[in-house]
């Protein structure tokens, strides 16, 4: 766990991120990590002295590197919530191309192998689902630490959502805007590679929804936190 701003902590690996927001005796997890990363969550909660039953989990989307620990989180007493349009993915009833598979990735790209290795070690190749899940809609302000507002940004998946905390001056961008090229070496604000997106053009259009948001730091699902405004980040991603 690494503290990246007041009351915001980063978990995951060098290739993927999920976040803990602390607020006195409660906390929010933004995403839930890969299936072998529960110890990270348990250790983080012990460090900030918050019991699991006082934690809420909100999920940007239900891919394995963001959702795999959702069932375990529920078993520990945490509420887990996704956007309405992500519910079937969370429940495992989704019909369609769930995510990029190993066959979609270039076998001879050593950089891609290096970038993906930490997630593979963390169990990303196995999806985990839940029997039920709470849902939210676009524009909802969630009554949880961080006072997050849900911003529906489809394209990576149908229900992909970013979360804005005016209180913290932060925008959690999930895989809708990242700062690490999983297939190469580029850094800074960028799109996920098209192979990872359900609809690449839709993912780009969704960025229009965050241009006017006021935030000082963007916290992506992959790559380093980026200091600057969403408007600047979107401009760089599209350049």
| 40 pLDDT higher than 90 | yes
Per-residue confidence (pLDDT) for residue 218, from 0 to 100:
98
Direct distance between the N- and C-terminal alpha carbons of the chain, in angstroms, rounded to an integer? 33
What residue spans define the domains of the chain? 2-95+112-238
H or E element in which residue 65 lies: helix 64-67
| 96 pLDDT higher than 90 | no
For 2-95+112-238, CATH number out of 3.90.1150.10, 3.40.470.10, 3.60.15.10, 3.40.50.970 equals 3.60.15.10
Per-residue confidence (pLDDT) for residue 98, from 0 to 100:
79
Token pair of 148 as six digits: 């997050």
Token pair of 24 as six digits: 């006195």
Rounded average pLDDT over 153-179? 98
Report DSSP state, residue 235.
H
pTM of the complete model: 0.96
Nearest to 40 by CA among 10, 75, 61, 60: 10
Token pair of 139 as six digits: 């524009």
Alpha-carbon span 191 to 220, nearest angstrom? 11
């Amino acid at each position: 766990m690494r503290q990246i701003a007041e009351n915001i902590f980063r978990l995951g690996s060098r290739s993927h991120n999920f976040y803990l927001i602390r607020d006195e005796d409660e906390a929010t997890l933004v995403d839930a990590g890969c299936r072998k990363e529960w110890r990270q969550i348990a250790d983080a909660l012990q460090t900030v002295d918050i019991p699991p039953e006082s934690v809420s989990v909100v999920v940007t989307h239900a891919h394995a590197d963001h959702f795999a620990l959702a069932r375990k989180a529920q078993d520990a007493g945490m509420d887990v919530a996704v956007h309405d349009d992500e519910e079937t993915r969370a429940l495992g009833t989704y019909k369609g191309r769930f995510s990029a598979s190993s066959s979609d990735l270039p076998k001879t790209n050593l950089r891609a192998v290096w970038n993906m290795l930490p997630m593979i070690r963390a169990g990303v190749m196995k999806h985990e689902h839940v029997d039920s899940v709470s849902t939210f809609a676009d524009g909802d302000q969630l009554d949880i630490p961080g006072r997050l507002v849900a911003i529906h940004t489809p394209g990576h998946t149908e229900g992909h959502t970013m979360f804005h905390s005016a209180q913290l001056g932060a925008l959690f961008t999930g895989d809708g805007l990242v700062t690490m090229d999983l297939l190469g070496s580029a850094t800074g604000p960028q799109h996920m590679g098209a192979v990872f997106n359900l609809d690449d053009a839709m993912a780009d259009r969704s960025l229009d929804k965050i241009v006017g948001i006021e935030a000082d730091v963007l916290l992506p699902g992959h790559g380093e936190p980026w200091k600057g405004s969403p408007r600047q980040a979107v401009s760089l991603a599209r350049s």
